[in-house]
Amino acid sequence: MEEKRRRRPGVEREIEGIKEEDYRVRITGIVVDRDLGNYSATIDDSTGRADVFFSRREDFDIAEEGRLIRIIGKVIKDDEKLWIDAEIVQNMDGLDPALLKQVRCIEEKGG
C-alpha cells in the first residue's frame, strides 16, 4: 500500500513573528502592491510586510490591491527580505481585521 505524504501545517503567524524555523505559515493581510510581471504581491498585516510569489494566475488574480487575503505558503528568508511561496490563497473580504486582532489577543491569553 502506498503511504501518503502529508504537508506540514501552516502555522498562524503575524509577519513580524515569523521565525527562522517556520517552514509553512498562514498570514492574513492587505495587498498593498502587485507585480504582474513576476506574479508577486506585497502583503501588509500591520506588523510588517512580506512579498508573496504566486505560481498560478488564478491565485494572483485573487490578490487584488486593497483586498484582505490569507496566504498559506512556504517561508523563504534571506538577509534582506521575507518571501512567501503561496500555495493557498483565500479572499477574506468579509473578515473584520480589528475583530481578528481581538480574537488573536484572547487566544494568546489562553481564554
**Lookup result for grid cell 487584488:** 64
Phi, psi (degrees; rounded to nearest 5) at 44: -120, 125
Residue 1 within any structural domain of the chain: no
State the amino acid at position 37 in one-letter form.
Answer: G
Work out how many domains the chain is built from and give that number: 1
pLDDT in tens, 4-19: 777 778 899 999 999 8
pLDDT in tens, 38-95: 999 999 999 999 999 999 999 999 999 999 999 999 999 877 788 999 999 999 988 8
Stated as kind and residue range, the H or E segment containing 41 is strand 40-44
* Torsion sign, CA atoms 9, 16, 84, 76: negative
Residue 74 within any structural domain of the chain: yes
Residue 28 within any structural domain of the chain: yes
Residue 69 within any structural domain of the chain: yes
CB 50 within 8 Å of CB 85: no
What CATH number has the domain bearing residue 99? 2.40.50.140
Domain enclosing residue 73, as ranges: 11-108
Residue 98 within any structural domain of the chain: yes
